[in-house]
Structure 1
């Protein structure tokens, strides 16, 4: 009984010693919650806000949305953690407390629980005041109390986790300033290390995978208490699934238990003479010093590499980071400038480790960029042509719990890799082999791109699934005709086409209506109209899927799309109706304007079915009489000659001769939807504006022709223009 009384008496005495911390914490929460709530609701009432506006205003302060409270929790975990165990850094106070007839564990928890109690009580009192303010302003308790209490429990739990980290740092140190620095190290070292390794990976590994979420960002929220707190807060704000939230809370509880247990054990063996020293345990000095010095040296080397792209400057940066960090830490450890180089062996170990790590990345000692799996080890291969399908919308339209529509985005790599298994693995491996060969030549400064190579630049990512269950991802970029032929072979395969275009797996049951866009008009095909007992929506979908799946790169080189078609899902149709009902022109545009696909002139069956529905698509041949074409001759100048920009040279060519216009339009393609054609390369075509005379007057359209199809008169104009450039330049 005496022991219990002493325990609580010590808690009371400790709270008296820390009244300033209690007052600071109370005032912080007072202005952040009840005062902020009153101000917000008062301002909303003056603006005649609706009830829901008032409710959301109160929730934004008392619930999860209050980012200011989230920051306060971090700061208070540091302040209260430091004040709870600051007496450990004073020899007189340590001698006094250790002379009391109380076990060290109980003495630890006296101070530990007081810090938690201060936060709990001040937060709870001010939360109740804030809720009272909200209720007095007409907010129904059920609309504010559950979320406010949920935020209270969430933030209190994470405060204890962050607070425990500070307590551990205070136990391991003998000086308040060093304890604060130690807390920073615990919170930031491993995130900084992960980000640094990722930066080295991205900078030096030329085939590093650039799609999806990297392992760095998957580990980032698990490598420190602070990043776990930020990640959990973001997850709660975004409304993550309940199963995921339970796992996150369990992880926090485990972290609290582990850190608190470590702090108690270290406090039990901590000597009283540690007060006033930088580190309470001598054995911890190299354990803390060596990782920090290595990290600092690598940061210095990478920083100067970024500045000058030179191994010499990188070495200079490594040395600077090494010396500065090592010397500063030694000064902190010994509180003596004369101890700068007191641990030479440790510094040499750090230098060697930093140099090996940096060289490992810089010279690819791991063989990362050279990796090509053996076909016998492969279960499957998937290829995502990154810069060829950028116009495709991956993901789906969905409805949330509040009946609001949104687009659930999915990256192209994630979508394609989950669906593709190339049967022709030989072609994929040949392409990877060529890409790796180009990477190695680039590293040795041996690869020179010529103008033709630049016409065929393709970036792509690969997923190798090995028979042992391992998955390997790489990203490449290739140039050259032979490599381009391999890309085309993969693109033309059914395995690629079926995985790359979501429309090919869309079902009639999930298709609400069809929208067709050409130039400035839009037409719809709705359900109800039928042909031979089949709904036109179903018939057009199946026909389009058949023609899209059979489309080849050869056809795409010769043609450009003439229109866009969208097979709207049922949810997209519902979102469109909701937009029209609510009268907001912008509402749900992000949901409705996704999922458009090209209609090529070769899609004759699809075009015919659309015409049966009263939708006639115009092509180049039936656009009308072309009376003039305007061509910018800059497109025909030599690519490696900048002198054609001279202001004395006339670059605009106007073609009015009927025969020349006819020759130009013979192979012309509409440019309106060329962005949907991955084989309509900018450097391979000549664009021009044509004035077309139709029934409604003259209209201008943008067209293009391939350079290989250039008519004779334009070839002569090209030669004349380049001669003029040479003459003026000379």
Structure 2
């Protein structure tokens, strides 16, 4: 009985409630304001789409996040603030109470102050929701239990993080700062490492890492519940619960081992000081390298300067914080920086010389079971969807991709020299091999595609490549309507809903996509506009929901079908809308002038020829480009005059200009 009584001390709990009870009251008022009161406000408004509020996390999302990530942290700071003050910590620990009892009684006080407001809010919200008929079928009891459970879990986890961090420092201000740093440090550090690996390792790909990074930050993960409707899984709830319990016991062990005289020290445990110092130096070094490399368009010298200046700055700031003085400039203080620098130089040397054979590694044909070549962002999206198979098992395709990979490695210096050339069609492309052992080996490059046309031809001409494109993949989905929207100045849009016509159109689009050649990908023909396939609700959350297909002017079979069914005249501008065309030729270096608008370039032409012949007008219309993203080497610019009196400015590629037009400028 004596030990139990000494462990559970009601006097400490009562004292905590007297001093810090306002935290629980404030948390309760904030949550009542954010959730049940907001539900009542929504019910009183005239124009509210109740279906937008799919669960309780969507109710006053911003305020819920603010209250969750501030009040539990504040509770952890205030309840254990006495250990950061020399007088109070001596007084508390002079009492005949064991440290375990002191710790757990303050812990119990904090949990009660934080848990009760959430439970009271949940009960209040239940009755408020029941009073609003529109929410009865949307915000169900199970949704409320889910919100309550997750909000309680996050509250307890944040409280335990704050307590554990508090045991490592002797200053409340440092405890608050370090707590929030802890919430973002894992994701921030991993992101910096990924960015720097992409600078240092040619071909490094983060495609299989980026989607997992969000789980390293509690804040980002919680945001995704609201932004992307990604509820916590049972596995995540179990992991966060275990982390909460583990942190509490770590906090207890640190509390028992903590020296009382360390109050007011930034880091109270000598063992943790080097971790703080060199961790800060590393983060500062990576941040400096990232900044200078990015702002100088990839100059290696500036990367090294960023590493040196960042490491030096981070190290001296960490020393000043630990010593609580700016007077640190003596040789002994910088011996650690010298050792850190030697280790970094060795690591950079290993990476730069590729001693680990990372850059030159290409798996043999026998090792590869499947391969993917294409856009890295799309690969990231499709990995979680088993309905879309973007890898190919074709041995011929695998060999073609390996040959391209070999050429990329051999032409590394040339490709790197072209990465900042804005006149080239450079794209970020990824090569992902799925090996026989189940592992995936991936490499990502920014490629000037025109210079690799010979290697790309067997890949982009193959059906395997085209079938991995999102434009093709979405054709396999169920479609309820197809929209055609043009780029021309006369607003043209048609929507096809007939099931038979949709089926025929999808077959034609498949044929058009499969008939595309490497030239269509590297130098695509002008587009009339774009095509959107609207799927059923089953596919609303897929990466292919509403993915636009470029409506290329080279899709002749599609145009014939639209014309046959009477849609073509309503789908895009045609010769009947054109009165005349005035063509001029501009020889100026547009890259130096930095002009990006066709309408601004057109008046720069000295000679203007007027075209009225319908055959020539038709050809100009079909080959012209209506876009600000035109090739800067184009010399021919056109001003179409429409029958309604408006003007439409376009450009045309030099090799696509009709002979009748080019001859006018050669006379």
- TM value normalised by structure 2: 0.77
* Partner of residue 474 from structure 1, selected from 443, 449, 456: 443
The alpha-carbon deviation at position 260 of structure 1 amounts to: 1.5
C-alpha distance in structure 2 between counterparts of 1:563 and 1:328, whole Å:
58
- Residues 413 and 281 of structure 1: CA distance in aligned 2, closer, same or farther (over 3 Å): same
Deviation at 1:180, TM superposition (A): 3.6
Q: Is the 8 A contact 2:525 2:623 kept in 1?
A: yes
Distance 2:539 2:193 in 1: 46
Q: Does 1:428 align with 2:401?
A: yes
Name the residue aligned to 1:106: 101
CA deviation map 1:8-37 (0-9, x unaligned):
4x3433442563422144135325525985
Aligned counterpart in structure 1 of residue 390 of structure 2, from 418, 424, 431? 418
Alpha-carbon deviation of 1:654? 1.8
> Alpha carbons of 1:685 and 1:495: their partners in 2 closer, same or farther (altered >3 Å)?
farther
One of 383, 387, 395 as aligned partner of 2:373: 383
**2:593 aligned with 1:633, yes or no?**
no
* 2:225 aligned to which of 218, 235, 240: 235
| Equivalence for 1:168 | 164
The answer (yes or no) to whether the contact 1:562–1:601 under 8 Å persists in 2 is: no
Q: Distance in 1 between matches of 2:236 and 2:66?
A: 19
Partner of 1:322: 311
Q: Residues 20 and 498 from structure 1, CA distance in 2 versus in 1: closer, same or farther, beyond 3 angstroms?
A: same
Q: Is the 8 A contact 1:525 1:613 kept in 2?
A: no
Indicate the residue corresponding to 1:267 in structure 2.
255
Q: Is 1:707 matched with 2:659?
A: no
Distance in 2, Cα, partners of 1:370 & 1:172? 45
Q: 1:180 to 1:703 in 2, by over 3 A?
A: closer
Identify if the C-alpha distance between structure 1 residues 688 and 488 changes in structure 2 by more than 3 Å, giving closer, same or farther. farther
Aligned-pair distance for 1:250?
0.9
Kindly indicate whether the alpha-carbon contact (under 8 Å) linking 2:31 and 2:118 is maintained by their aligned counterparts in 1.
Answer: no
Checking the alignment, whether the CA contact within 8 Å between 1:38 and 1:134 is kept in structure 2 is no
Give unpaired runs (5+ residues) of structure 2: none
* Contact 2:90-2:260 within 8 A present in 1 as well: yes
- 1:670 partner SS: helix
Whole-angstrom distance in 1 between the partners of 2:327 and 2:521:
74
Deviation at 1:689, TM superposition (A): 4.8
Q: Name the SS of the counterpart of 1:382 in structure 2.
A: strand
The question of whether the paired residues in 1 share the 8 Å contact of 2:471 and 2:548 is answered with no
Distance 2:385 2:505 in 1: 28
1:291 is matched with which residue? 279
CA contact (8 A) 2:319 2:328 kept: yes
Deviation per CA, 1:131-172: give whole Å up to 9, x if none: 677778899889587655543332221121121122112222
The CA distance in 2 between the partners of 1:35 and 1:235, in whole Å, is 17
Matched residue of 1:424: which SS?
Answer: helix
- Structure 1 residues 327-370: Cα deviation after superposition (integer angstroms, max 9, x where no partner): 44334434455556555442222233344556666776766555
| Cα deviations by residue, 1:574-616 (Å, 9 ceiling, x for unpaired) | 99xxxxxxxxxxxxxx97795675574642xx66665664556
Q: Which has the larger radius of gyration?
A: 1
| Residue 343 (structure 2) aligns with | 353
Aligned-partner SS, 2:70: helix
Residues 689/310 of structure 1: CA separation in 2 closer, same or farther (3 Å cut): closer
What's the CA shift string for 1:40-76, capped at 9, x where partnerless?
Answer: 846964x5577x86x999987x976443233223222
Alignment RMSD (CA, Å)? 5.3
Check the 8 A contact 2:532/2:549 in 1, yes or no. yes
Q: Deviation at 1:196? A: 1.6
Assess, with a 3 A threshold, how the Cα gap between structure 1 residues 506 and 491 changes in structure 2: closer, same or farther: same
Decide whether the 8 Å contact of 2:419 with 2:447 is kept in 1: no
Q: 1:634-653 alignment to 2 at 5 Å?
A: 634=586, 650-653=605-608
Q: For residues 194-217 of structure 1, what are the alpha-carbon distances to aligned partners after superposition, in whole Å with 9 as ceiling and x for unaligned?
A: 12213323444554447xx55145
Answer yes or no: is the 8 Å Cα contact 1:34–1:127 preserved in 2.
Answer: no
Q: For 1:655, what is the secondary structure of its paired residue?
A: strand
Aligned residue for 2:372, secondary structure, equals strand
| Equivalent residue, structure 2, for 1:83 | 78
Structure 1, residues 268-323: CA drift from partner, whole Å, max 9, x if none?
Answer: 33344444544433222223322222222332344344455666655554444434
- Residue 571 of structure 1 is matched in structure 2 by 536
Are residue 441 (structure 1) and residue 414 (structure 2) matched?
Answer: yes
What is the number of equivalent residue pairs in this alignment?
651
1:215 to 209, 217, 232: 209
**1:655 maps to which of 601, 610, 632:** 610
Mapped to 1, the partners of 2:54 and 2:452 lie a distance apart of: 60
Contact 2:449 2:522 (C-alpha < 8 Å) held by counterparts: no
Deviates more, 1:249-258 or 1:74-83: 74-83
Counterpart pick for 1:67 among 62, 77, 97: 62
Write the distance in 1 (CA, Å) between the matches of 2:130 and 2:142: 13
Cα offset for 1:253?
A: 0.5
Specify whether residues 234 and 164 from structure 1 end up closer, same or farther in structure 2 by C-alpha distance, changes over 3 A only: same
| CA distance 1:548–1:167, shift in 2 (3 Å) | closer
Matched, 1:199 2:172: no
Match of 2:452 among 483, 491, 494: 483
Q: Does 1:154 align with 2:150?
A: yes
Shift of 1:421: 4.3
CA deviations 1:70-100 (Å, max 9, x no partner) are 3223222322222333333445544554455
SS in 1 for 2:230: coil
Structure 2 equivalent of residue 282 of structure 1: 270
The DSSP-based 3-state class of the residue aligned with 2:468 is helix
The structural deviation recorded for 1:256 is 0.9
Alpha-carbon shift at residue 681 of structure 1 (Å):
6.9
User: 2: CA distance between counterparts of 1:78 and 1:6?
Assistant: 28
Partners of 1:301 and 1:321 within 8 A in 2: yes
Q: State the Cα distance separating 1:448 from its structure 2 match.
A: 11
**Structure 1 pair 638–416 and aligned structure 2 pair: CA distance change class (3 A):** farther
1:249 Cα deviation after fit: 1.0
Tell me how far apart the structure 2 counterparts of residues 193 and 236 of structure 1 sit (CA, whole Å).
24
How far apart in 2 are the matches of 1:441 and 1:413? 37
When residues 349 and 597 of structure 1 are mapped into structure 2, their CA distance, relative to the original with a 3 A threshold, is same
> Distance in 2 between the 1:555 and 1:305 partners?
34
Task: After TM superposition, list the pairs within 5 Å mapping 1:394-405 onto structure 2.
Answer: none
